[in-house]
Amino acid sequence: MSFDSPTWIVCPIILPLIAGLLCFLFRKNTFFIALFASLANLLSVAILLWQFLLLGPMRYSMGGWQAPLGISLRMHGPTILMLLMTAVSGLGITLYARGYFSFRIAAPKRVGRHERQERFFWPLWLLLMTALNALFLSADIFNLYVTLELVTVSAAALAALSGKPASQIAAFRYLLVSLLGSLSYLLGVVFVYKTYGVLDLQMLRQVASPGPGLQAALALMTLGLLLKTALFPLHFWLPPAHANALAPVSAILSGLVVKGSFYILFVLWFDIFASSISQNALNLMGVLGTGAIIWGSVQAIRQQRLKLLVAYSTISQLGYLFIAFPLALRGDGGQGAWAAVAFMVLAHAFAKSAMFMAAGTIFLHMGHDRIKDLTGVRKCLPLTSFAYAIAGVNLMGLPPSGGFIAKWLLLSSSLTSSQWWWSVVIMTGSLLASIYVFRVVSRLFVIPAGKSICACRPHSPLLEWPALVLAMIALLLGLIAPYPLLILETDTLVSCLLLGGGL
């Protein structure tokens, strides 16, 4: 298999899948299988990236079966970015999960239960990775449904892994909501198929034309995906599910899983059916996004538990993605919004994973996550505290983070397209974000005089470093901004000159 063979495109799907199955078979050394899979995934994504930069977008039909019956994969700019995001975060999460579980297993209580959790975690996580990769690579809307369901199944199982009643109830609710969303989406797919008779994304783009059938289909698909993306006011399931899961799982759910459904939504609205979308619908999305930003932030502000705060902040941050909707497809602001979404997704994935990891480490060490009792954590967990703070910088959208670039692009498009009210929302959102971030950070970093408040148990560096590295990636994303843009730009879809020159 040479490096420019199109077969590499299946590797991000096949490799984690095989590794996941192997993890079911072998009880021992599952971590190393997972680590290997994560690394191999990263490597294959890197090769894909190299191919992409060299050859441009590509399609691949599995087994030689052509659409409509065969399964075809496609790769374009956004796909590559999402794959990269999954691979990098995935590697970080894998490493962190190792540290997390070994720390828990090292604890004297409930060793068996913790071991069992670890045993189930790895295959599920690898399956989820498979599903996500497949989702990003899928080239037709029905395959998207299947991969969505795969994501749902593995994510729900992961969410229930902690075994506590609260987490199981939350996971069940999550599963039901996801099913509803998937079915809603599937119904939309059916409508599309009924109207146009094609499933393939490329073909759909060519044949799509406005009409009641498409309206109904798009409404159903959008609603389903919004449910899964937890956009306000359909976010009710997210905080308990994310907050009650194990820390690595929270990182996965908040950082990656919600991005999957959003990716589909985005592709549908801006790639496939872009020509038939009305400004009203875009504005409605913006309004919902505004609601999410404000409501999520306010709820995050009033939370007393760290993980719930972080979960609500996810709701708020997802709102920004929808603010981009009314800004796209409008004058020259549109391309800016495109790039803004890409940066927002990437930065949020890294930052939120890092934040949940940090929160998990803090929980492990303190035995609780009551915000008001977190004073002085920096003393024993300096790296974790820094990771949390840096991730927070990202959420606030302060430079030079990826969040900043995203906010800059959003602001810029809103002002060029004379929709300044969205920029007010964005600024308000950042200020509220700074409130909830600093609510925690200011406690973490104050070292009270007198006795230390948490006993520092020895722990592996895997518990602290992955979070820090991911947070740093999110922070420095702003500085390497030209590269993601280059990837986006190589695609035919975004043919604008986003690059500031120089490269």
Partner 1 sequence: MIGGDLNHGIYALMLSLVAGTPLLLASLCCTPMRKIAAQALPLAAISALLASFLVPSYVLVEVPWFFMSGRMGLDDTGRIFLCVSAFIWLLAALSGRNQVDNDPENNRFNGFFLAAMAGNFGLILAQDMLGYYLFFALMSFSAYGLVVHKGTEEAHRAGRSYLVFVMIGEVALFLALVILADSANGLLLEDLIGVTIHPFVLVLLFIGFGIKIGALPFHVWMPTSYQAVPAPAAAALAGAMVNAGLLGWLRFIPLGEVVSPAGSLLFIVAGGLAALYGVIIGLNRKRAGTILAYSSISQMGIMTVIFGLGLTGLDAGDHAAFILILYAVHHSLAKSSLFLGYGVLANRKGPLSKWHIAGLLLPSLSLAGMPLTSGAVSKVGFKELTNFVGEPWLVLSGFFLPITAVGTTLLVLHFIRVVRHCEGSEKTGSTSGPGAWIASLLAVSLAIWLWPAVQIHVDYSIAAAKLWQSLWPIVTGGLLFWAWRRCVRRREIEARPFVRDINTIQGHCSGFDWWKKLHQVIGGIEEELKEHEVERRNNLVPYKSFSWFLRQEMKSIYSFNGVASTVKVLISGLSGSGYAGIDFFLRKTEKIMGRWTVVGLSYVLLCILFFFFLG
Partner 2 sequence: MITNTLYSLCGLVLFAMGLFALFACSHLLRKILAVNIMSAGVFLVLVAAAYRPLGAGEVDPVPHAMVLTGIVVSVSVTALALILACRVQETSNLSISRNGLKVNDEEGSGG
Partner 3 sequence: MIWQGWLLVFILLSSFLPGIIIFALPEEKYRLRTSLNLFGAGIKLVFILIMNIGIYYGYNYEIRLPLIQGVELLLNADPLSALFATLSSVLWLLTTIYAVGYLEDSPNRSHFFGYFSLCVTVTIAIALAGNLVTFLLFYEMLTLATYPLIIHRGTPQALRAGRNYLIYTLGGGAVFLFAVVWLQTITGPAYFSAAGFSPLLVETHRTALVSIFILLLMGVGVKAALVPLHGWLPQAMVAPAPVSALLHAVAVVKAGAFGIVRIVLDVYGIDNMSRLNLFPLLTVASSVTIIWGSIRALQQDNLKRLLAFSTVSQVSYIALGMSLADQPLAVIGGLVHLVHQGLMKITLFFCAGNLAETLGIHRISEMKGVARRMPLTMAAFSIGALGMIGIPPTVGFVSKWYMGLGALAMDNWWVLAILAGSSLLNACYFLPILTSAWFAKQERPWPEERRFNRFETRLMLLVPPVITAIIVIVAGAVANAQISPLAWVRFILREYGL
Q: Which parts of this chain interact with partner 2 (CB under 8 A)? A: 68-69, 142, 145-146, 149, 152-153, 156-157, 160, 162-173, 175-176, 179-180, 183, 186-187, 190, 193-194, 197, 199, 239-240, 243-247, 250, 304-305, 307-308, 359-360, 363, 369
Report what 405 binds from partner 1, partner 2, partner 3, none; CB cut-off 5-8 Å by kind: partner 3
106 vs 432: CA distance, rounded Å:
39
Establish if 234 lies at the interface with partner 1 (CB under 8 A): yes
218 vs 415: CA distance, rounded Å:
29
Angle between helices 111-137 and 77-106 (to 10 degrees): 180
Instruction: Give least dist CB 466 to partner 3, A.
Output: 18
Find all residues with CB under 8 Å of 223, minimum gap 6, and list them: 181, 184
Q: By CB under 8 A, name the one of 41, 94, 182, 299 that touches partner 1.
A: 299
Establish if 450 lies at the interface with partner 1 (CB under 8 A): no
Spacing of C-alpha 365 from chain mean position = 26
CB 469: neighbour CB atoms within 10 A? 19
Q: Do 375 and 443 meet the contact criterion of CB atoms below 8 Å apart? A: yes
Tokens of 409: 């692009």
Report what 382 binds from partner 1, partner 3, partner 2, none; CB cut-off 5-8 Å by kind: partner 3
For partner 3, which is the closer residue by CB, 359 or 488?
Answer: 488
Q: By CB under 8 A, name the one of 150, 220, 357, 390 that touches partner 1.
A: 220
338 vs 413: CA distance, rounded Å:
10
Sequence letter at residue 131 = A
Report what 479 binds from partner 1, partner 3, partner 2, none; CB cut-off 5-8 Å by kind: partner 3
Report what 228 binds from partner 2, partner 3, partner 1, none; CB cut-off 5-8 Å by kind: none
Interface residues with partner 3 (CB under 8 A)? 339, 378, 382, 393, 396, 398-400, 404-405, 407-409, 411-412, 415-416, 423, 427, 430-431, 434, 438, 442, 445-449, 478-479, 481-482, 485, 497-503
Tell me the window of 53-61, 257-265, 412-420, 431-439 that interacts with partner 1 (CB under 8 A).
431-439
Establish if 11 lies at the interface with partner 1 (CB under 8 A): no
Tokens of 169: 């109830």
Instruction: Give least dist CB 10 to partner 3, A.
Output: 33
342 vs 331: CA distance, rounded Å:
19
- 213, β-bridge pairs: none
Of 247, 266, 205, the C-alpha closest to 81 is: 266
Spacing of C-alpha 292 from chain mean position = 16
For partner 2, which is the closer residue by CB, 119 or 483?
Answer: 119
Establish if 438 lies at the interface with partner 1 (CB under 8 A): yes
- 370, β-bridge pairs: 305
108 vs 266: CA distance, rounded Å:
47
For partner 1, which is the closer residue by CB, 279 or 418?
Answer: 279
Report what 199 binds from partner 3, partner 2, partner 1, none; CB cut-off 5-8 Å by kind: partner 2
Q: By CB under 8 A, name the one of 153, 292, 359, 371 that touches partner 1.
A: 371
Instruction: Give least dist CB 294 to partner 1, A.
Output: 11
Instruction: Give least dist CB 399 to partner 1, A.
Output: 22
For partner 2, which is the closer residue by CB, 97 or 282?
Answer: 97
HEC string of 176-236 equals: HHHHHHHHHHHHHHHHHHHHHCCCEHHHHHHHCCCCHHHHHHHHHHHHHHHHHHCCCCCCC
Provide the 8-state DSSP code for 477: T
For partner 2, which is the closer residue by CB, 167 or 222?
Answer: 167
Q: Do 285 and 100 meet the contact criterion of CB atoms below 8 Å apart? A: no
Q: Provide φ and ψ at 101, rounded to 5°.
A: -70, -40
Establish if 461 lies at the interface with partner 1 (CB under 8 A): no
**3-state SS assignment for residue 480:** coil
Where on the chain is the footprint of partner 1 (CB under 8 A)? 177, 180, 210, 212, 214-216, 218-220, 222-223, 226-227, 233-237, 276-278, 280-281, 283-284, 288, 298-299, 301-304, 371-372, 432, 435, 438-439
